[in-house]
């Protein structure tokens, strides 16, 4: 019970995970996320500092329960991908909470 109360205090009412993925196969990963998970994917343009190689960076917001499925998609598509998982307190917009009801 104490753990759940602490999670609620720290993470807020609508805890989600924001995932940043840097991969050599961003299109393959994004396609699988949109089709098998029914989640949107935002694509940022970036580049490596040292190599200056252009990269597409994927940004995805999902529930905690979906993290394992996303990891499996990334691992099976590009085992060398870089993944950063961030805690997100509240998420508003399509597929989440309507901002007018916040």
pLDDT digits (tens, 9 = 90+) for 58-74: 999 998 899 999 999 99
pLDDT at 51 over 80: yes
> What CATH number is attached to the domain comprising 21?
3.30.70.120
What value does the mean pLDDT take over residues 30-43? 96
The residue segments making up the domain with residue 97 are: 2-101
3 state SS of 75: helix
Number of domains in the chain: 1
- Higher per-residue confidence, 30 vs 13: 30
- pLDDT at 29 > cutoff 90: yes
pTM comes to 0.80
Buried b (16+ CB within 10 A) or exposed e, 55-69: bbbbebbbeeebeee
CA–CA gap between residue 93 and residue 100 (Å, rounded):
9
Beta carbons of 98 and 14 less than 8 angstroms apart: no
Mean pLDDT rounded to a whole number for the chain: 87
pLDDT-based confidence at 36, cuts 50/70/90?
A: very high
Distance from C-alpha of 29 to C-alpha of 19, rounded to nearest angstrom: 12
Q: Report, as an integer, the average pLDDT of 25-49.
A: 96
């Amino acid at each position: 019970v104490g753990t759940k109360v602490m999670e609620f205090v720290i993470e807020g009412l609508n805890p989600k995970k924001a995932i940043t993925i840097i991969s050599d196969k961003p299109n393959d990963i994004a396609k699988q996320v949109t089709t098998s998970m029914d989640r949107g994917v935002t694509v940022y343009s970036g580049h490596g500092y040292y190599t200056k190689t252009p990269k597409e960076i994927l940004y995805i917001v999902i529930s905690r329960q979906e993290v394992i499925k996303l990891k499996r998609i990334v691992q099976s598509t590009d085992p060398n991908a870089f993944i950063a998982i961030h805690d997100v307190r509240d998420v508003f917009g399509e597929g989440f909470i309507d901002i007018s009801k916040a």
